[in-house]
Amino acid sequence: MIIGVTKENFKGERRVALVPASVSALKKLGAEVRVEARAGEASGFLDQSYIDAGATIVTDRTDLIQSSDILLQVRAAVANPEAGQSDLALLKENQILIAQCDPLSDPQKMLELAAKKADIFSLELVPRITRAQSMDVLSSMATIAGYKAVLLAASHSPQMFPMMMTAAGTLTPARVFILGAGVAGLQAIATAKRLGAVVMAYDVRPAVKEQVESLGAKFVEMDLGTAEGQGGYAREMDEEFYRKQRELMLEVIAESDVVITTAAIPGKKAPILVTEEMVQAMPAGGVIVDLAAERGGNCELTKAGEEVEVHDVVILGPLNIPSEIPRHASQMYSNNVTTFLKSLIKDGQVNLDLTDEVLAGTLVTHQGELRHPLCRQLANLPELVESTANAETPAVAEPAPASTPAEASADNQSAEETPPESSSDATEDSSSDDGDTYKLQ
């Protein structure tokens, strides 16, 4: 059995699907590992490192793809709509492709790919169950996105994050507001707190309040009801919900120096949480980092892939943030994929057990059929008889590791509980105020 790893050809992608440290684990499964030349170079993994680990370097991409029984990629299918088409054309019957495929964005495209009769597993669809946490690619990448978002905000802010008492006077801490307390949001909270900021967070799922407060942030409550769907993800709400939410958030955002948004709905355009009115209300020099930019953005002024300044506020719409930290992103992705393969390969052979919740939940196409229930629903196809695939899938920017159960979703807000003039009383570490609830009605 041959497992092939290609060099990513999505524009700007610097990750690699398998790092050298994971090669030995796949060889123990009875697989031969082949890696395209320079596949890991952008992540800091040179060809010689793969050779030392026991892999074979292949220079011909076409030969690598066609000779592999299992193909590992970071972005494929809908997630790599342009450059990835040439790879998909090379897929053969019964070949296995494991990657992030973004099937919910274009189920019709996945339906076309089903005709190739290859088995395509989309790792965004890993179900939210305890056993699958070590395979949860979205959670891994969201952890990186949340961390990087805070660094981006700090580097663009005209002020430092921590409170400082110096001979030149006392500097008040930055006020950071996180919208969405999924994996990315929770990581953003933790990172901002480490930098010394005063942090507030909001999520439409009240159940995450305890997690937010455990990290030293204040949880903002809004009397809107719950928007938690199946599997711990946020469900899509109607426009009236978002309208009322925006009204309540305005006062919080008006007092925030930094706003980081992480709200996403599986297969849907990201909800607008931050309006132009809110942006205008922010202090001059404010920064917004929109982690949902790839899905249309949570801020109505966001421009995907660009940095814009409106009303003296800098709005960042970063794309593919995990690729900005390619070494660790690749390491985490590789570990997720390796664990997934251990469920798929038994005694040196592929064992596609459709009673396995993880395998069935990530299998999008099989034997010429579009198999995943939600993909079929979006493609207006009838339900498959005896399908065991998981109907609920991860949302955008955010996923959940063992320590953080829910995925990012929802809305937002972060403000200072104390008035601006008294913010100098805050400390770099969790103060006695941290963990309180900030209630809006």
Which residues participate in catalysis according to the annotation? 128, 133, 136, 139, 233
CA distance 317 to 299: 9
Q: Which two tokens stand for residue 186?
A: 């929770």
SS3 194: helix
- What letter does residue 104 receive in the DSSP assignment? T
CA distance 260 to 75: 25
The size of the chain, in residues, is: 441
- What letter does residue 371 receive in the DSSP assignment? -
**Nearest one of 292, 407, 320 to 274, comparing CA atoms:** 292
Answer whether 139's CB lies under 8 Å from 183's CB: yes
**Nearest one of 152, 171, 165, 124 to 340, comparing CA atoms:** 124
When computed from its CA atoms, the radius of gyration of the chain, rounded to whole angstroms, is 22
Instruction: Quickly list DSSP for 231-298.
Output: GGPBPP--HHHHHHHHHHHHHHHTT-SEEEE----TTSPPPP-B-HHHHHHSPTT-EEEETTGGGT-S
Phi/psi of residue 286, each to 5°?
-65, 160
Contacts from 105-111 at CB under 8 Å and sequence distance 24+? 105/78, 105/267, 106/78, 106/81, 107/370, 107/375, 107/376, 107/378, 107/379, 108/379, 109/77, 109/78, 109/81, 110/77, 110/78, 110/364, 110/365, 110/370, 110/375, 110/379, 111/370, 111/375, 111/379, 111/381
- What letter does residue 21 receive in the DSSP assignment? G
H or E segment and range at residue 346: strand 345-346
